[in-house]
């Protein structure tokens, strides 16, 4: 569990699943930039039962506030089979929780965690050029724009460009500097 000053990142628990399928599958809530897609409820639960959404090449962090309320998620996955890089994707579940700086802290924690755990030199984020909020998060955390991947993603009936951002190990804040002290956590 990664306990920051405002958010906590941790793998999903079985107890987190209550009501989560409805939350993550409601296309009215996902916003215009999260990929449109549906998975059947039995398949979704089966994937959790098989892996807890945590494998050697895919990890899914739940983002909660300090009181344990589910706020969003960070997907972490291998960026390519040809090099040892990783990629982050992130989402705040409810529109009313967006725009409060929560995701910046969560992405900072996930980035630092990956650099602590994996022998990698870089992490990347791909995002829709129209998604200004996501771009602000990436830049605020220290990711640098590398370029545009033209017609790289098909969603909602059209091919979309994606912006490629990256951060190098030497540019990231160390995990120890981001974790809340134990006395702040009541422990």
Whether the pLDDT of residue 106 is over 80: the answer is: yes
In a 13 Å sphere around the CA of 32, the CA atoms on its Cβ side amount to: 8
Range of the domain at 139: 2-184
Task: Using alpha carbons, list the distances in angstroms from residue 128 to 59, 135, 149.
Answer: 22, 9, 10
Alpha helix segments (H runs only) across the chain: 20-25, 41-51, 102-117, 132-141
Total domains, the chain: 1
The end-to-end CA distance of the chain, in Å, is 14
Question: Greater confidence, 37 or 63?
Answer: 63
Q: Would you say the pTM of this structure is higher than 0.85?
A: yes
User: Residue 156's domain is classified under what CATH number?
Assistant: 3.40.630.30
What pLDDT is stored for residue 39 in this prediction? 75
Antiparallel, parallel or unpaired: β 158-168 and 144-155: antiparallel
Listed range (29-38, 53-62, 111-120, 174-183) with the worst mean pLDDT: 29-38
Q: What residues contact residue 128 under an 8 Å CB cut-off, 6+ apart?
A: 33, 134, 153, 160, 161, 162, 163
Q: What is the mean pLDDT of residues 96-117?
A: 95
Task: Using alpha carbons, list the distances in angstroms from residue 151 to 88, 90, 157, 181, 182.
Answer: 20, 21, 12, 44, 46
């Amino acid at each position: 569990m990664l306990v920051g000053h405002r958010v906590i990142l941790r793998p999903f628990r079985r107890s987190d699943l209550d009501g989560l399928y409805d939350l993550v599958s409601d296309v009215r809530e996902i916003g215009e930039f999260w990929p449109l897609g549906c998975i059947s409820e039995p398949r979704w639960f089966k994937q959790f039962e098989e892996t807890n959404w945590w494998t050697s090449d895919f990890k899914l962090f739940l983002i909660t506030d300090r009181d344990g309320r589910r706020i969003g998620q960070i997907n972490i996955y291998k960026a390519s089979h040809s090099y040892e890089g990783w990629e982050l994707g992130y989402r705040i579940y409810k529109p009313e929780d967006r725009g409060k700086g929560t995701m910046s802290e969560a992405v900072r924690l996930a980035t630092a965690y990956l650099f602590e755990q994996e022998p990698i030199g870089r992490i990347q984020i791909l995002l829709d050029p129209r998604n200004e909020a996501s771009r602000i998060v990436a830049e605020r955390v220290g990711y640098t724009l590398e370029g545009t991947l033209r017609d790289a993603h098909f969603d909602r009936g059209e091919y979309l460009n994606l912006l490629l951002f990256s951060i190098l190990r030497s540019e990231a804040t160390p995990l120890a500097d981001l974790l809340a002290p134990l006395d702040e956590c009541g422990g």
